Amino acid sequence: MKIRFSTDALVIKETAIGDNDRLLTLMTRDMGVIRAFAVGAKSVKSRRGSATGLLAYSNFNIDKTGDTYKIVEASANKVFFGAGSDVVTLAVAQYFCELCAFFGPHDETAEEFLRVILNSLYYITEKKRDPVLIKAITELRICALSGYSPSLIACADCGQFEDKTMYFSFDNGSIYCENCKKPNCTALNLTVLKAMRHIIYSKLENLYGFEIPDKDIKTLEKITERYLVFQSEHRFATLEFYHSVI
C-alpha cells in the first residue's frame, strides 16, 4: 500500500546511485531520520537538484511503500550555501549532520531536534556567532534531547548550588562541590557552569541568547565534546575532520 505525505526536512547525507539518482538521509520534522530515494535528482535538468543536495532544508512530498521512501517532489526552503565559505564552517556543518544521523529519533516527531540543528547551521553559515561556541551549544543540547542530559542543578552529594569551583563528572553527568568532588572530574569555573546550565535548561527560543568571554568558549567546547563522545561511545568521523582543520 502506497502512502503519500509531505514534510519539511534537512538533507544530512547524500549517496550517489548510478548517474542521476541519490539516496538521501533526511532529518524530517514529522518522522525523525529516514532514508529516501530521489530518482533523477542529479540530472542537471532536475528542478529538485538544489532541494535534494546536502544541507538543503526543503519541503518534500514522499511516497512510502512498505519500508521504502521515494521522493516525488521537493522544493527548497533554505540551502545553507555558506557552509562552504571556509573549511572550519564546513567541518562543523558536516559534524552537525552526523550528529543528526546518530542521535536523531526514528519514527517519531523531531521538531525541537530539527530546529536546534537548523538554528545552529544558520548561526555558523551567516557568521552570527563563534562557530566553536555554536558547536558547544549544539553538542550539549543534542545530548539533552537524546536522553544524555547532565544534572547541573547542584552538587550531586550535598546539594550545594554553587562553589567557587565546581567539578563535572563525565561518567554520570553530575556536578560536585569542592568537598564532594570525585576522581576523574574536571573543574568548572562558574562562568562555564552557568553557560552549561543555560544550554540545558533554557527554552529553545532563548538557547543562543547568552554571552560568554572568549577565554571560556574553548573550555566549554572541550567539555561538551568530551561529554558527548564519552556518553555516545561513538567515533565521529566528521569530528576528526574538524580537529584536522582547526
CB 131 within 8 A of CB 50: no
b/e per residue 102-122 (b: at least 16 CB within 10 A)? ebbbeeeebeebbebbbbbbb
CA distance 170 to 163: 19
Per-residue pLDDT band for 36 (boundaries 50, 70, 90) equals very high
Q: What 8-state DSSP symbol labels residue 202?
A: S
Q: Name the pLDDT band for 40 (thresholds 50, 70, 90).
A: confident
pLDDT average, residue stretch 31-57: 80
The model's pTM is 0.92
Q: Is the dihedral of CA 172, 178, 180, 184 positive or negative?
A: positive
Domains defined for the chain, CATH in brackets: 2-79 (2.40.50.140), 86-245 (1.20.1440.120)
pLDDT of 130-177, one tens digit each? 999 999 999 999 999 999 999 999 999 999 999 999 999 999 999 999
pLDDT mean over 40-61: 77
pLDDT of 44 above 50: no
Phi-psi region at 127: left, alpha or beta (left = phi > 0; alpha = psi -120 to 50): left
The alpha-helical segments, DSSP class H, found in the chain are 87-103, 111-125, 131-145, 190-201, 214-232, 237-245
* Cell of residue 140, nine digits: 550539549
68-94 average pLDDT score: 89
- 8 forms beta bridges with 59
- Per-residue model confidence (pLDDT) at position 12: 97
- The DSSP output letter for 158 is T
Predicted confidence (pLDDT) per residue in 107-118, tens digit: 899 999 999 999
* Average pLDDT, integer, range 202-218: 96
Q: Report how far residue 214's alpha carbon sits from residue 199's, in angstroms, rounded to the nearest whole number.
A: 17
